[in-house]
């Protein structure tokens, strides 16, 4: 009986410590997602169709200067991520958008497939729009866009 009590006395503090450690509020959440669409809008893009892959600090400063985008990025993000700016150009009506169809990590590169969303028939806004999106690729590998 004494052996059982001694074992229980040793086991209880270990269980309490394990419980307290598992309840810690300093746990880190790891996001394995290869990409994030930071901003996607019908308004605010360029007047002509283009995309730009942003990999350098000089280029990244442009994103940091944008009021909408700077909510989602920090100056050091360029050290661990690349960014893609996609502009669909000027459109004569609403309903256009940018969709990331797939992002695949290969040994030597990241392959990103982007699709232009077209308006649904009969349900369009009659306004000049400039759809664009900014996509964060959580890798510094070279990017290929399809």
Q: How much is the mean pLDDT over the chain?
A: 83
49 has a pLDDT exceeding 50: yes
CB 139 within 8 A of CB 106: no
Q: Collapsing DSSP states into helix, strand and coil, what is residue 96?
A: coil
How does residue 6 score in pLDDT terms, banded at 50, 70 and 90?
A: low
Cα gap 22→145, rounded to integer Å: 43
CA separation (Å) from 144 to 38, 40, 70, 85?
19, 20, 25, 13
93 has a pLDDT exceeding 50: yes
Cα gap 101→124, rounded to integer Å: 23
Note the pLDDT of residue 29: 34
Six-digit token string for 104: 């695949």
As a whole-number percent, the residues of the chain with pLDDT over 90 amount to: 62
Note the pLDDT of residue 15: 46
Note the pLDDT of residue 124: 72
Q: What is the pTM of this model?
A: 0.75
CB 112 within 8 A of CB 146: yes
């Amino acid at each position: 009986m004494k052996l059982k009590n001694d074992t229980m006395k040793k086991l209880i503090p270990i269980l309490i410590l394990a419980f307290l450690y598992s309840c810690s509020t300093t746990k880190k959440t790891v996001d394995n997602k290869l990409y994030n669409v930071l901003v996607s809008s019908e308004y605010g893009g360029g007047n002509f169709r283009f995309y730009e892959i942003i990999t350098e600090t000089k280029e990244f400063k442009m994103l940091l200067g944008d009021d909408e985008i700077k909510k989602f990025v920090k100056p050091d993000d360029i050290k661990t991520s690349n960014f893609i700016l996609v502009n669909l150009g000027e459109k004569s009506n609403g309903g256009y958008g940018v969709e990331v169809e797939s992002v695949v990590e290969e040994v030597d590169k990241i392959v990103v497939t982007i699709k232009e969303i077209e308006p649904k028939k009969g349900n369009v806004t009659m306004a000049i729009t400039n759809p664009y999106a900014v996509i964060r690729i959580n890798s510094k590998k070279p990017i290929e866009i399809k």
